[in-house]
Amino acid sequence: MDDTAEHRSSKRPKLSKTVLATIERKRQNAILLRDSRLEHKTMKPVANKPPDDAQVGIHSETKIKEQEHKEDLFDDRIRCSQCNVNCNASYLYVNFSELMCDECREKDKDSYNMISKTDAKNQYVLKDCDFDYREPVLRYVRTVNPHRRGGEMKLYLECQVYERACVVHGGEAGIERAIAEAQQRKESFAQRKLEKRLRGLRDKKERKPKAVHVHEFEEEKCVNEEEDTYSRKCAQCGYVEIYEKL
């Protein structure tokens, strides 16, 4: 069991100090992002009423729309939690709400691995409700299932799954304990199944075959002399056999 636990632990993502710090600062970064958006929106210029000249009015309206478009672009920008640089919305932010730019993600790919839902449930002893109903609901991306033709599979961010497992099981020690208990249940089920199969084989071997009855006939009796018909009766089961002599 210890070897199995060590093997499962080796599969667990090795979170770098940067990722651990990101998890701890996630709430503060979210607050900073919200405050920066609110601060910028308060600086939004108010459009003056255009003059009567139609050409000047069109020109002013175009400037206002361009300004609003720039502000919308600003709302889609994030501050990377690792390099602390404002950047466009990245893959991790759009799909998993992680404040991480694409450049930093490329530098630290091992800390942001993807894992399928089935593997995540097995490795971290989680249930469907831990993914789909426990708040906040874990986000995922859909991709082609290589094991099922025409099927799809859900991919989760493994560091987020690990964080959810810590919440469910109460930290790293709780995860190890849950894995050990799941492995023990699995081994107990396999042992019971094996014992049931062996019991069936023993019962089949010890079961005595049904004896074949062999008739023990009494002396024959003549039934019809003209037709040379005779009969004889089994002394054990009472079976009567009628036959004709040639």
CB contact burial 210-227 (16+ within 10 A = b; e otherwise) = eeeeeeeeeeeeeeeeee
Instruction: Report the distance separating Cα 184 and Cα 244, nearest Å.
Output: 74
Tokens of 213: 């009855």
Element (H, E) at 185: helix 172-206
pLDDT of 3? 54
pLDDT of 69? 44
pLDDT of 145? 87
The verdict on pTM exceeding 0.95 is no
pLDDT of 10? 53
- Mean pLDDT for back-to-back runs of 10 residues, the chain (246 residues): 52 62 63 65 51 49 51 61 84 88 86 91 93 91 87 91 92 92 92 90 75 83 82 87 80
Instruction: Report the distance separating Cα 83 and Cα 104, nearest Å.
Output: 7
Which of 74, 132, 76, 79 has its CA nearest to residue 104?
A: 79
User: What residues form DSSP beta bridges with 155?
Assistant: 116, 141
Maximal C-alpha separation, the chain: 141
Answer yes or no: are the C-beta atoms of 85 and 100 closer than 8 Å.
no
pLDDT of 147? 84
